Amino acid sequence: MSAAGLSIPEDLVGTLREARSVTVLTGSGISAESGVPTFRDAQSGLWARYDPLELATPKAFARDPKLVWRWYLWRRGLVGAAAPNPGHYALVEMERRVPVFTLVTQNVDGLHGAAGSGSVLELHGNIRRTKCSREGNIIESLDEGEPPRCPDCGAYLRPDVVWFGEALPEGMIEAALEAARACDLFFSVGTSSLVYPVASLPYAALESGAAVVEINPGETPLTPRATYALRGTAGETLSCLLEAAFRQSV
Ligand code: BV8
Cα–Cα dist 80/63, whole Å: 27
pLDDT for 250 equals 45
User: Which tens digit of pLDDT belongs to each residue from 36-95?
Assistant: 988 777 576 777 788 989 999 999 999 999 999 999 999 999 999 999 999 999 999 999
Q: What is the largest CA-CA distance in the chain?
A: 59
Site to substitute for ligand 1 among 164, 189, 201, most atoms within 8 A of C-beta: 164
Q: Where are the alpha helices (DSSP H) in the chain?
A: 10-18, 29-32, 52-55, 58-63, 65-80, 86-97, 111-115, 172-182, 201-207, 234-242
pLDDT for 2 equals 52
| DSSP helix/strand/coil, 170 | coil
pLDDT for 163 equals 98
Of 115, 83, 110, residue with least CA distance to 96: 115
pLDDT for 248 equals 63
Cα 30 to ligand 1 centre (Å): 14
Asked if residues 133 and 156 have their Cβ atoms less than 8 Å apart, the reply is yes
For domain 2-35+84-124+168-246, give its CATH number from 3.40.50.1220, 3.30.2400.10, 3.30.70.20, 3.30.413.10.
3.40.50.1220
pLDDT for 54 equals 92
Domain map (residue ranges) of the chain:
2-35+84-124+168-246, 37-81+129-161
Is the distance from the beta carbon of residue 214 to the nearest atom of ligand 1 less than 6 Å?
no
Catalytic residue chosen out of the listed positions 75, 88, 124, 158: 124
Strand-pair category, 185-189 with 211-215: parallel
pLDDT for 5 equals 57
User: Which residue CA neighbors atom 10 of ligand 1 most closely?
Assistant: 196
Cα 195 to ligand 1 centre (Å): 3
Cα 17 to ligand 1 centre (Å): 31
Asked if residues 88 and 7 have their Cβ atoms less than 8 Å apart, the reply is no
Asked if 124 is an active-site residue, the reply is yes
Q: Where are the alpha helices (DSSP H) in 49-135?
A: 52-55, 58-63, 65-80, 86-97, 111-115
Is the distance from the beta carbon of residue 32 to the nearest atom of ligand 1 less than 6 Å?
yes
CATH superfamily entry for domain 37-81+129-161: SIR2/SIRT2 'Small Domain' (3.30.1600.10)
Q: Which residues of the chain have pLDDT under 50?
A: 1, 3, 250
Is the distance from the beta carbon of residue 236 to the nearest atom of ligand 1 less than 6 Å?
no
Question: In this structure, what are the phi and psi dihedrals at residue 106, rounded to the nearest 5 degrees?
Answer: -90, -10
